[in-house]
Structure 1
Amino acid sequence: MAWLNLYIRYPSQSYHGAEWPPSPFKLMQALIAGFNQGRNRSQPAADFESALRWLEQQNPPWIDAPDSEQGTTLTVAVPNNEDNLTMAAWANGKPESANDKAKRNALKDVPQRFLADDKPLSYHWQIAEEDAVIARQIVAYAQRITVFGRGIDLVVAWGEVSNDTPPVSAQCYLPQQAGVALRVPVPGSFAALEARYQAQFMPRVGNVWVVGLPPLHYGTARYQRADQPTGKPYIAFQLLELHGKGFWVRDARQTNEVAAMMRHLLDKALKGELPDPAAVSQWMGHGDVNGERLHILPLPSIGHEHVDGLIRRVLVTGADAELLERLAWTLEGSELLKDGQPTARLVRIFGDDTVVGMYTGEWHSRRKLPTCEWVSVTPVVMPGFDHHGKRTAKLMREALKQAGLPEPLAMEVSAAPYQRHGHRAGSYAVPNYLKYPQYHVRIRWEKPQYGALAIGAGRFRGLGLLYPVL
């Protein structure tokens, strides 16, 4: 076996793209842009097309990224594509003033990321020996890449084909069952990207303006840093209004209601994916109590002093990454039903999402912050009655054991919430079979924990949801 290694260096030691690390699919976009060099090719490039069609069939690469820190998000004013208004005003003898033009600017948020050192960003594919020749063509095309990220992210790119396995550093992102979801090329990606690139040079068909661009075509793969503990695979969705123009929100005390609506969709999706009714029952929690089942975790918005603590996202975890991926594609765009009526729409979350990353520990781990201490966002439902506090500590340790978590170094319980917009324990709605005492909890472990963590009798429906503190 051999390795195709591509390297990207940022001389400015900064990056302004929306995702980190940049996805392999984005790298294919950069290869196409670099080869075309901003021009409209009148003749097809057969060798280039053959090389990229080969690349889109390879397994997802390793990604070795330099350490980085998230900077302040910049808000910039970008002119809207409305020059027709400017020309109309000029033709009417009333040219627009600078102030009039500024009113038509759109405000865009541009994230900043500062790279800690001069280490290059690199991508590593394991390839067959007989593919070394075409891999060297990819290396030659990579040297034409000048921008990777936004337009201001100028880079130097190079590559090599080697028989030596690249070292796995602590900053290396490996394809895993859990972690951040990144877009990856799949068969058909090159054709879609090439058509999208060429569309910008063909604004007119006859005398009609072309609206929009050809759709992208890609797959997804989850990546996890080598220095992060392994968590369970998950899929995540935004909850949007039916018209899709805004979030559908619910009070955190309605966690059980949101989870129940999500359970209905998952049950239906599982019956379509699994032929065995017993397997469906097991995943929905009606089989072996010690067997694997799905966790449905509505996520209150947290992490900033001004957030409102309302539910806008839902996360589903389980042990079978392949099954979760199939469920994700089935559920994409589905409608949550309340009393049989559509009430919200599911839109899958791809790539980094700050709120999801906070709950899974990914957001903190990338910034080298400790994740040994966790607090509850929704209260823990005790796995039994605590006899007016006499058995609370014992039951809390039992809840940790049931969730597969280690014995803590320290633990404290409280009826009051630890989050700014949390609610008092006992005020969260639960089904009748969970009418046990509720407590908020702060837990400190010896080693950092990773993954979306929930404990207690309500852990499968979003109660007992934990959050890593700084």
Structure 2
Amino acid sequence: MQVILRQAFPLGRFHATPWGASAFDDPYGEWPPSPFRLVRAIVARFHQLARERGEAAEALEDLVRALVTCEVRYHLPPTASRGPAVRQYLPDIDIRWNPAGLKDQAKGAMKVSKRFLAQDNCVAVPPDGAIYWFLDGPNWTDAGLALLDACLARITYFGRAEAITDIDRVVERPSGIDVNCELTDRRERGAVPVLCACRDMTAAMASDEAALHGATVPPGAVWRFAVRPPKPAPRRAAITRRYERTQLVQFALGASVEPPMEAIATITGRFRGRVLREALTALNDGALTRWNDASPGLRARIAGLAGKDAAGLPLEGNAHASYLVWCDGRRLTRLFVYRARPFEPWEQDAMLRAAEAPLEWSRTESEGWTVRMVPLDSAVPPPSGFDGIPSRAWSSVTPFVPARYSFDRRGRDKKGEMPQDQIVEELARRGWPPAEVASIDDAGWVRVHAPKRSVGGATNNARRSFHVRLTFAKPVVGPLLLGHSSFFGLGLFEPCD
């Protein structure tokens, strides 16, 4: 005959420690609940029932025999997990004087109880989930079931007193409730020990506190093993976002090891790669994530994010996104993506998903330095130079790198290729009015964005950089991006009037 018990924890917590284990040594607690604990709880409630109704001891022996001869199986809530441990100091029965050397109440001493530190571990059980006990045994009778129901109705906690419980017997198995945890005599990989009652256990063994105290294995009990059900795979929650038409998507940067200025192009280049993967994943339902594997149609759709057309050629007219970094002095504080044409909702969603995980910026895998990105909403004002305010004087926020080398192999200046010459030439090519290079100072070496298809690939990407100040004859409106890797964070200017 099969008896099914349903046990719920209204407070969502099951507090219990395995037999003989210290709460500090086993922070996971007991899970699943042990059958030995269930038998002891029922026996304890029988003694309460006997005081109320005068039940005979023979009835208890029959009930215990029916319980211990059952094969126990469980249905455990799949979402149950380890809960937070609570540590607190509790009073002891030992009383002492405080201060210890002053034993005179007239002099300010007082008697206080000693304290000991206790750790309370628990398993977080969903309030709408329940444990189902499946007890299959041959010794159940109608009288035994009635006595079992009366004892279960009087159980108010299970394990520690904080584990408030509600346990009763159900006549029919609920739909969708199947056995997902069984007990075995041999320990398997991933199994946990569970204390069970032996078939010859008696009611006296369950209530003899003198015999139970200090016992590694209590009389009438035996260790068996259970494999907990696997937790369901985490699913990405469906997030409903409201997107506004915007040309600028901003993220705050944070890191335990702050990245240097020379890592700007590394951060923006790797973030761009993530954005493209997320965009491809959304457009083809995860069938592919690499730009090289995408069809010409998909490449054309993400051209505004990639900066290249379906054939891999750079887009003309600055119609693509720029992945930029804002600096406060030499500290990288913000990453933002700008495009003259507003971003579509699916493009903004790809950027937000790309920013969910930390981004590694270190050059070697052994370093493992990362930076985190926190999305900023429209209430955060745009960076200086992106607010539409005109200015005559502009100063570089991030180092300016000439698009072409300024020196020959012997280290001599190339005529017409000096940094100031390249700035004047680039301003004219991009349609900006003429400007005077007011000052130009060396800013050291930085890494630039170098596609793998280029000569040397990503390994040949260290270039000389400069801090530049420009003065226009008339005020101009930004943004102003100049030089090598200007769409990857370098050569960004701000108004300095």
TM-score range, shorter chain: 0.3 to 0.5
More helix by share: 1
Normalising by structure 2, we get a TM-score of 0.38
Larger Rg: 2
Higher relative contact order (CA 8 A, sep 6+): 1
TM-score, normalised by the number of residues in structure 1: 0.40
